[in-house]
Structure 1
Amino acid sequence: MTSADLLLHPVRLRIVRAFLGDRALTTSALAAELADVPAASLYRHVARLVDAGVLHVVAERRVRGALERTYVLRQAAAAIAPDELTTMSPDEHRRAFMVFVAGLLGDLDRYLARGAVDPIRDGASYRMAGLWLDDAEFAELLRELTRVLQPALAKPPAPGRKRRLLATVLLPSDEAPTTGVRKSKRRSS
Structure 2
Amino acid sequence: MNKVEIIMHPVRFKIIQVFLDGLSKTAKKVATELKDVSQASLYRQLDALVKAGVLIITEENQIRGAIEKVYSLNVPSVNMTNDDVKELTKEEHLQYFLFFTAQITSDFETYLDIGDIDFLRDGVGYRQVALHLSDTEFLDYAKDLRKVYEKYTQNTPSSERTKRIISTITMPKKEGKAKHE
TM-score, normalised via structure 1 length: 0.87
CA distance in 1, matches of 2:135, 2:19: 33
TM-superposition CA deviations, 1:12-52 (whole Å, max 9, x none): 11111111021211111111111011110111011100111
The equivalent of 1:66 in structure 2 is 66
The reply to whether residue 16 of structure 1 matches residue 32 of structure 2 is no
Query: Which residues of 2 match residues 15-54 of structure 1 at below 5 A?
Result: 15-54=15-54
Q: Which shifted more, 46-55 or 104-113?
A: 104-113
Name the amino acid aligned to 1:169. I
Q: Which shifted more, 163-172 or 153-162?
A: 153-162
Post-superposition shift, 1:133? 1.0
The equivalent of 2:102 in structure 1 is 102
Q: Which runs of 4+ in 1 moved over 6 A?
A: none
CA distance in 2, matches of 1:161, 1:15: 21
The reply to whether residue 127 of structure 1 matches residue 130 of structure 2 is no
The equivalent of 2:170 in structure 1 is 170
Post-superposition shift, 1:159? 3.8
The equivalent of 1:89 in structure 2 is 89
Q: Which shifted more, 108-117 or 32-41?
A: 108-117
Query: Tell me, what secondary structure is at the counterpart of 1:87?
Result: coil
The equivalent of 2:142 in structure 1 is 142
The equivalent of 2:179 in structure 1 is none
Q: Which shifted more, 77-86 or 65-74?
A: 77-86
Structure 1: which 5+ runs fail to align?
Answer: 177-189
CA distance in 2, matches of 1:103, 1:64: 37
CA distance in 1, matches of 2:13, 2:121: 27
Post-superposition shift, 1:160? 1.6
Query: Tell me, what secondary structure is at the counterpart of 1:124?
Result: coil
CA distance in 2, matches of 1:162, 1:76: 24
1:3–1:79: 8 Å Cα contact kept in structure 2? no
Structure 2: which 5+ runs fail to align?
Answer: 177-181
TM-score, normalised via structure 2 length: 0.90
The equivalent of 1:187 in structure 2 is none
1:7–1:79: 8 Å Cα contact kept in structure 2? no
Structure 1 vs Structure 2 CA RMSD: 1.5
Post-superposition shift, 1:55? 0.5
